[in-house]
Amino acid sequence: MQRLQKHLRNKKDVLARREFFYFIGNKNNVLVDNRIRFYACERAIALFLRHGFPLSAAMVCGRMVNEGFVPSVSARTQMALITLAERSPDENTLLEAIAEYCRQASFDERCMRDVVHLLHESMGCSPEIIDKAINVFIRSQDLEYSLSPATVGLLVHIHGCAGSIKGAQHWLSTHRPCNPQHSGTMDVRAHPYTTLLRRLADEMSSEHDDHGVYRWVFEQMVENNIIPDVAFYNAFMNVEIKRRRYPQGFTIYRLLWHHRTGTETPDAYTYSLLFQAFRKTYESRSFRNRRTRRPDSAPTPRQLYRDMYECHCLRTQGKRSKPSAVITLDTLHNALYMFLQARDYPAAFVVLRTFRMLGLKPRLYTYQLICSLLLRRIYEELPLLSKESYPDRVWSYRFLGMASYPIGQSVPKGMPLLAAILRLGTVSRLSLSYIPVPPETMNKSGDSSGESKVELSRSSSASSLAVEDIPHPEVSASVTLGELHNMPSAELVVQTDSKTDDTKEFALAPLERVLRRAILSTRPSVAISPAKEVAVEIAEAKREMISQTFGIGMYAGGLALPAESDESY
């Protein structure tokens, strides 16, 4: 079904239909029985209709009948409504057709949700018409019928998309499940409230006064004894962080953190949000002044990473190399971005070691991320070199090995500069010496000192790192070193073609070598060997970021709405 959805999102209904018919028609696949074929056809009909391909849906329905299946009442209702919609009926005619199907004994609330999806996504009906359709269904049921959290959440989503917060509040307040539906510390009744908070984050402006909505949400949850889950906390944090109310966002995180359990902890989405919040606090800083005030209630970035690592150990019961829902590739990329933007290279190196611990390999984006932020710093500092009496005090001077430049060698720009950074990852011995261009690269790329017309923009948004932050090439670069060390070439790093394989894996060691050199470049002098100097910095970062002890018994409690803890970081 995922491939089917992907094709439909790309408007390739013919390809989607062909692949689907091959799937259900393959009699040699023993894993696909008649039951699976039936439910696959039902799901395909709904997907084709929601994406605006009624002809394909009708063909699937006909295929079901030919193979001896009887389409469910949900599929028959959707096909009838989409056929009726082609005649542009008025509102009353549409509601009468829905009422006729609601009177059937087999038409339940799940079928009604399918109809609501069709009305909203395919037919483009307004929330008012959808509300009337829901009321038609409710009148066909018992007098005290109450909608399920799934249906209420869908209605909240529809009203939120239309900007009708009052409409969302109406459904939340009038349809409350009488009996709690718990599964451990999870409460499915919290999902509609989570949906409302997500719509607040997506639709409202930062100037909007939404405190009344917050208060109403919490009053409703307390009144109905609803326990918020991790998704609710995440949605609440997302609202605050999008409005740049970082102290409030980190306060919510503290509540979630102090009430974690073995199965309920902050997850990858939580930490991605918080890493992005730290990144945004760096945006307003001048590149000459790297000091920034940490938001109130916020841990240090290294402590935040340690929290994430401890939650990972808690989820995996101390099996650190086991994957979990806390540390993912996207989360590590967000952490890398945060530390590189803060120029905390030892911490960024520890993040790369987490790749190794979990058996993850860097992708092209990992290389783009590190190279882009290093290039950004170099371009910011290059104008300072001509004004400095002691240029060796500038980080870029040491990082590029300019002290050992050949006579007449100038700082490259554009693609040659990017290639120079990548070459640093090919040398295992740590030093601040200049790494010359290999002879075969010079022969293939021509003048290695050529400049690109596109330079790094200092004003590029830190919240949305893109490949555009890297200068584009004017000259061709060799891929020999890249093939030798399993790393992307400079040309591939600046590739913006959508056909680029984002899932291809590369070696981790070159990035570690680049960051070790970046760490060494932050030290104005080297008292002992370069490797030992860097090892001291990395060991200090590891002590702050990686917990060496783990015990499940130290964590207890559930996810509730507690009073704010006085415990500080």
Kindly report, residue by residue over 90-130, the tens digit of the pLDDT: 889 999 999 998 988 889 999 999 999 999 988 889 999 99
Is residue 146 domain-resident?
no
Which range in 57-71, 143-157, 341-355, 464-478 is most confidently predicted, on average pLDDT? 341-355
Round to whole Å and give the CA distance between 337 and 348. 8
What percentage of the chain has pLDDT greater than the value 70?
81
Is residue 318 domain-resident?
no
Whether 392 has a pLDDT exceeding 90, the answer reads no
Is residue 537 domain-resident?
no
Residue 488, number of CB atoms within 10 A of its CB:
24
Round to whole Å and give the CA distance between 552 and 201. 34
Q: How much is the pLDDT for 188?
A: 61
Look at the chain and report how many structural domains it folds into. 1
Whether 366 has a pLDDT exceeding 90, the answer reads yes
Residue 317, number of CB atoms within 10 A of its CB:
11
The alpha carbon of residue 133 and the mean position of all alpha carbons in its chain are separated, in whole angstroms, by 35
526: left (phi over 0), alpha (psi -120 to 50) or beta: beta
Is residue 453 domain-resident?
yes
Q: How much is the pLDDT for 203?
A: 62
Instruction: Note the pTM of the prediction, 2 decimals.
Output: 0.74
Higher pLDDT, 437 or 261: 261
Residue 275, number of CB atoms within 10 A of its CB:
23
Whether 206 has a pLDDT exceeding 70, the answer reads no
Residues 445, 516 contacting (CB under 8 angstroms): no
Is residue 36 domain-resident?
no
Q: Which domain holds residue 461?
A: 396-507
pLDDT tens-digit readout, 144-155: 788 888 899 899
Q: Closest Cα to residue 347, out of 309, 321, 401?
A: 309
Is residue 449 domain-resident?
yes
Is residue 90 domain-resident?
no
Round to whole Å and give the CA distance between 364 and 190. 38
Amino acid at 443: N
Is residue 429 domain-resident?
yes
Higher pLDDT, 329 or 211: 329
Amino acid at 214: Y
Per-residue pLDDT band for 499 (boundaries 50, 70, 90) equals low
